[in-house]
């Protein structure tokens, strides 16, 4: 239920200030505890009569962000000896308290950020797909992921695809509800593209250098006594039996027998 200020409800008061329909703000306040995020505002359909009934200003977007449930993600590496997540958690909790945002879940990993298979990291994405919260708040981007620009960008876009916002506490520009969201994502996408191109170039250069040095890619070929193999074959043993005796794969024996 909307909080009342005197005889006028809070949605009606804000509606008067922002010049947007009271029915919309009642709807927004009714979504408190559900999934109403700035991504819903940003990605609204222009054909939807509900959204097209009024213009969305910066202030009205700000109203939407006041009705958000927060999931906190914190991480420290196993190599960060003597460090724990309490400093991160304390600052993030205080920030949410000042914003009036309820924290519905805290995800904490004690693992390297160079891999995406972290237990709580994956649990966070699973909950995001079920829309169990509206925004993921993390202390800094390197606490969220250190897998590289491309992989990190994919993680952020995965949240956006689920309708979940994200925000970095220490990097104000990294905010999917902020003014610079599109610019930051474009920059990250460009860096990620260049990173993939450089990786491809280094791989090709390495293969070319190996060929010039006479090295052949792939696993080294296993030595085989062909006379022994022929003798075993003449004795009537099957390919599987020969492979077992010579410690070779059946595929290798079959290839040598038919060669």
Q: What is the Rg, in whole angstroms, of the alpha carbon atoms belonging to the chain?
A: 29
**Alpha carbon distance 28, 251 (integer Å):** 64
> In the beta sheet, which residues pair with residue 5?
8
Per-residue pLDDT of the chain (259 residues; tens, 9 = 90+): 444 444 444 444 444 444 444 444 444 444 444 444 554 444 444 444 444 444 444 444 454 556 689 999 999 987 655 567 888 999 999 999 998 999 999 999 998 888 889 999 999 999 999 999 999 999 988 899 988 888 888 999 999 999 999 999 988 888 888 777 777 778 877 777 777 777 777 778 877 777 777 776 666 666 677 778 788 888 888 888 888 888 888 888 888 777 6
For residue 180, give the H/E element and its range: none
Domain co-membership, 146 together with 91: yes
- What pTM value is reported for the model? 0.56
- Which of 23, 22, 26, 63 lies closest to 41, judged by CA? 63
Count of structural domains within the chain: 3
**Alpha carbon distance 157, 25 (integer Å):** 28
149-161 and 181-212 helices, crossing angle to 10°? 140
Q: How many Cβ atoms from other residues are within 10 Å of residue 253's Cβ? A: 24
Domain hosting 74: range is 70-190
Please give the backbone phi and psi of residue 224, each rounded to the nearest 5 degrees, phi first.
-140, 135
Domain co-membership, 91 together with 147: yes
- Specify the CATH number for the domain of residue 113: 3.40.50.1390
């Amino acid at each position: 239920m909307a909080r009342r200020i005197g005889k006028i409800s809070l949605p009606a008061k804000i509606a008067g200030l922002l010049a947007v329909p009271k029915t919309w703000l009642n709807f927004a306040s009714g979504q408190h505890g559900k999934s109403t995020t700035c991504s819903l505002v940003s990605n609204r359909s222009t054909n939807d009569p509900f959204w097209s009934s009024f213009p969305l200003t910066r202030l009205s977007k700000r109203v939407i962000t006041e009705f958000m449930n927060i999931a906190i993600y914190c991480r420290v590496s196993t190599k960060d000896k003597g460090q724990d997540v309490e400093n991160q958690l304390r600052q993030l909790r205080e920030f949410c308290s000042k914003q009036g945002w309820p924290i519905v879940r805290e995800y904490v990993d004690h693992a390297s950020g160079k891999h995406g298979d972290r237990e709580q990291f994956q649990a966070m994405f699973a909950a995001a797909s079920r829309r169990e919260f509206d925004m993921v708040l993390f202390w800094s981007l390197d606490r969220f992921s250190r897998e590289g620009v491309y992989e990190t960008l994919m993680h952020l876009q995965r949240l956006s695809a689920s309708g979940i916002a994200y925000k970095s506490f220490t990097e104000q520009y990294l905010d999917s509800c902020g003014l610079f969201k599109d610019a930051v994502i474009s920059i990250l996408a460009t860096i990620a593209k260049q990173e993939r191109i450089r990786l491809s170039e280094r791989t090709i250069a390495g293969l070319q250098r190996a060929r010039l040095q006479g090295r052949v890619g792939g696993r080294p070929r296993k030595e085989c006594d062909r006379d022994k193999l022929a003798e075993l074959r003449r004795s009537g043993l099957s390919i599987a039996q020969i492979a077992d005796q010579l410690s070779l794969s059946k595929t290798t024996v079959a290839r040598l027998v038919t060669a």
